[in-house]
Structure formats: C-alpha cells, structure tokens
Amino acid sequence: MTTRELRKTLEEWAREARVPADLADRALRAGGRRRRSAFLALPAAATCAVVLAVALAVTRAGSAPSPVAVQPRDEVIRLAPAHEPPDKVTAGRSSVGSVLADTRDSPPRKMIAAGRWAVSAYWTSEWRKSGPDLRVRGRTWYLLDPVTATYDETEWGFLDVSPGLRYAAVLEKGLPVRRIGVFDMETREVRAWIPMDRPVGGVAWSPDGKSLVATAYTRHPDEEAVPDGAGQRVIESSRTGFYVIDVATATAGEFHPMALDFVDNSNPRRDFGWSDDGMLIYEWDLSPRHKVFYDLNGTPHAAPSDYVVTESKAGVSPDGTLLAGRDGLPTKVTERATGKVVGRQRVLQLLAWADDDHLIALGCAGKCGNEFANGLVLVTVDGKETVSLSANPARTRSWEPLFTLR
C-alpha cells in the first residue's frame, strides 16, 4: 500500500468513527518523520504502528458520547518541525546524508542529493515573444516527489521548496498572479491558497519553513528587451515591493513598497530572499557579489554580524572555517582565518557545501567532450575525488537546479 493510499484509507476510517478529519495527517506525519530518513518508502514497522494507532483511536471514539468537533482542513497548516540538516555525506540510500545520483537522464528523472542538500526541483526554459521588441522567459518546473524519489513535471509558473522537502510554495502560470499555493509534496495536493492584494511573481521560504517572502510585480518578472545588434537592451524591473506571509495560517501581512534605486541591479527579476537567521531579507547585487539587507518592513539594514561577503554560491562551509572561491576552472577553497588555499578543484563553479569536506559543484567527473559538457558533481575540498551526480548535458536540454536543505 502506498503512502497516498494509506492516507486515503485512514481518512475514510476517521470520518466513519467521527474523529478529527486530520487524524490521518497526524498519524502519517509521525511515520513521515521516520520515513523521510529513508526517502523512498515507509518502513513496514512504521506502517504497522500507524494502523495500530488509528485502530485504537477508532475504538475509543466509537464509545464517545458525542461527536468530536472537526476543524476546517485548511485553517491551519501543520508544518514539519524545524529542519536539522545532516552533518556528513554518507553512503547508502537509507541514510539521511546519502549520495543520490542520476547519471543517465538529462534533465534528471531520479532524485539528486548529497549530504545537507537535495535538488528539490529544477526548471527548463524557452523564450517567447511578448510584445514589440520584448520577450518572456517561460519556465517549465519539475518538482521532487519525496515518496517516489523522482521528479514530476508541474503546471506551475514559479515555485520554491521548504527546508525538509515537505511543502512547495507555488505560483500559477501567467505571472504575476494574485494567489500563492502551499503544495504538499507528499500528498501532491494544494493545502491552501493565499490571496494577495497585489500580483506577485516570486516567492521564497524562510530558513525555519514557517514564513514566505513574496515579491510583487506589475508585469511578468522575466520579461526583457529583445537583444539588438548592439547587445542587450535593458528595461526597468516592474517590482513594487514585498509581503511576508505566515504559512501556518495562510495569511499575508502588509504590503511593503520598495524602490528600485537601492541596488545596482539591471535584472528585471529582482526577488527577495532570507538571511540565514531568518531575521532579514536581502536582494542580490550584481557586482561585487554581495547581498543588500533590509528588515521585514523594507528598511535598509546592516548585514548580520556573522555575514561574509563571498564570490561563490557555496560561500562559507557549515563549520564556518572555509570559504569557497570564485567561479572559473580551477576553483579553490581557502581557510578563512589565514587566507591559505587548502584545496583546488577541477570544476567550474562551487554551488553548495554538502558537508565540511565535500562540495556540490558544476563540473566533470572523468572525460568530457568539451568544456561545456558539465553536470553536477560531488567534489572533495582537496580536489582529489570527484563523483558525478547528474549526466553531462552537452547535447541535451539545459536545466537549472533548485537546492534545498533536506
């Protein structure tokens, strides 16, 4: 019996016994915390425990003198506990930090992960004409199904995945849109739709998985001028501001208008993200590579005291001692305290720290046909070991991964 079939059966039992309608969800979450460590299937022992717990609840409810009040299903979204990423890269599909790869398919069909991070989703894109001298980048999103450990094509125009890989915040196609969906990745259902006063085109989860920052736009955030013979022509971003959303109650806070003149950024998409502690939001600057921070009311704010300006997406190692260097073959890792180079890697980009000794990178493990035939790899800090995580997509459609703490 699959997780979704089990959930349906438990809900039917709950309705017949007149117990709370979310009893099945609570029972599955108890098993889900165990099952997520294995990623693929609910262990048989956990399944028996869930069924036994529900059977006992049904017996007790059957003798109850009066019906139990049922809370509306989408009034409160019961979020997963705060995420604690694994410390080390491990072997074997049943361990939390295990290395999972798909080196046959590009774009991938099977789950890709290593250590702390998983590819929770990815997108492909194509350009379409949107007006005189204008074009829009249309995205096709593929979202991880944590039950089957595979990626499914979605109907969404934009999305982000919460830490722990349980929920996705989704926006429908035709950006910007006036509602945000909270999509349960295990049941493959939208748990709630959050109405917005102004249309939004981007959304990002807070580090604790309890809040969202949604960026508002007046037109499609991926619309730009068609390049002419002289190069790329620039049109101003249509970003107007942002909302901070409480996910559990599916409610949006006040709209915070934001001017475009604080950051030297010519991109039409200028989304906001979260600081590591979830206390501030930021916007990427283009050059140099650093973040410009604001408080949750949109007021410019000093960077967190432990913030480090980095030249790579990977940034600082989990233990805070090492720093990933800038893009370009070869890359390097330095010791923060001394600036000493502790390793060089034959890769193009360092994307994320899998643990203190390994990084996820864009590169090539083995022989590649040309310098652009690069996929995701796991590489050691000293650069001596490199393992392929994805196929090299030189002759296939390119795709952009979304990394999420698992």
Give the pLDDT of residue 372. 64
- What is the pLDDT at residue 369? 59
For the chain, what is the largest distance between any 2 Cα atoms, rounded to a whole number of angstroms?
A: 79
Render 156-222 in DSSP notation, one character per residue. EEEEEE-TTSSEEEEEESSSSEEEEEEEETTTTEEEEEEEEEEEEEEEEE-TTSSEEEEEEESS-TT
pLDDT on residue 368: 66
Answer whether residue 171 shows pLDDT above 80.
yes
How far is Cα 189 from Cα 11, in angstroms, rounded to an integer? 15
- Top mean pLDDT of 55-59, 230-234, 264-268, 353-357 is at 353-357
d(CA 295, CA 281): 6
Pick the more confident residue, 21 or 108: 108
pLDDT of residue 96: 86
Q: Please, are residues 139 and 125 in contact by the beta-carbon 8 Å criterion?
A: yes
Q: Among 45-54, 148-157, 247-256, name the one with the lowest average pLDDT.
A: 45-54
Kindly tell me the sign of the dihedral angle through the C-alpha atoms of 62, 63, 69, 74.
negative
Question: Of 33, 21, 25, 34, which Cα lies nearest the Cα of 4?
Answer: 25
For the chain, give the number of residues: 406
- In contact, 185 and 156? CB cutoff 8 Å: no
Tokens for 218? 């007046």
Per-residue pLDDT at 43 exceeds 50 = no
Q: Which residue has the higher pLDDT, 225 or 256?
A: 256
Q: What is the pTM of this model?
A: 0.80
Q: Is the pLDDT of residue 62 over 50?
A: no
Residue pointed to by tokens 């739709």: 193
Of the candidates 208, 203, 201, the one whose C-alpha atom is nearest the C-alpha of residue 183 is: 203
Query: Does 342 or 40 have the greater pLDDT score?
Result: 342
Q: How many CA atoms lie within 13 A of 291 on its CB side?
A: 23
How sure is the predictor about 68, in pLDDT bands with cuts at 50, 70 and 90?
A: very low
What is the pLDDT confidence band of residue 4, given thresholds at 50, 70 and 90? low
d(CA 65, CA 169): 41
Q: What is the CA radius of gyration of the chain?
A: 23
Which residue is listed with tokens 């102004």? 198
Query: How does residue 73 score in pLDDT terms, banded at 50, 70 and 90?
Result: very low
243, β-bridge pairs: 214
Residues 33-60, mean pLDDT to the nearest whole number: 33
- Structural contact between residues 272 and 280, judged by C-beta atoms closer than 8 angstroms: no
Angle between helices 23-35 and 44-62 (to 10 degrees): 160
The pLDDT value given to residue 247: 96
Write the pLDDT tens digit of every residue in 201-222: 999 999 999 999 999 999 999 9
Read off the pLDDT of residues 357-402 as tens digits, 9 standing for 90 and up: 999 999 987 666 566 678 999 999 999 999 999 987 655 678 999 9
Domains annotated for the chain, with CATH where assigned, are 3-62 (no CATH), 83-115+311-406 (no CATH), 119-301 (2.40.128)
Do 203 and 156 contact (CB within 8 A), yes or no? Answer: no
What pLDDT band is residue 36 in, cutting at 50, 70 and 90?
Answer: very low
> What average pLDDT score do residues 19-31 get?
42
Chain segment 282-334, per-residue pLDDT in tens? 997 765 567 899 999 999 999 998 898 888 999 999 999 999 999 999 999 99
Mean pLDDT comparison of 68-82, 258-272, 294-308, highest-scoring range: 294-308
> Is the confidence at residue 117, as pLDDT, over 90?
yes
Q: Using CB atoms within 10 Å of the CB of residue 197, give its burial: 0 to 12 exposed, 13 to 18 middle, 19+ buried.
A: exposed
CA distance 315 to 233: 31
How crowded is residue 109: how many other Cβ atoms within 10 Å of its Cβ?
13
Q: Report which of 202, 308, 287 is spatially closest to residue 245, judged by C-alpha positions.
A: 202
Please tell me which residue, 402 or 18, carries the higher pLDDT value. Answer: 402
What's the pLDDT band for 46 if we cut at 50, 70, 90?
A: very low
Residue 154: count of CB within 10 angstroms of its CB: 18
Dist CA 3 CA 186 (whole Å):
8
Q: Looking at residue 265, what is its pLDDT?
A: 77
- Give me the pLDDT at residue 24, please: 41
Residue 65, pLDDT > 60, answer: no
Average pLDDT, the chain: 82
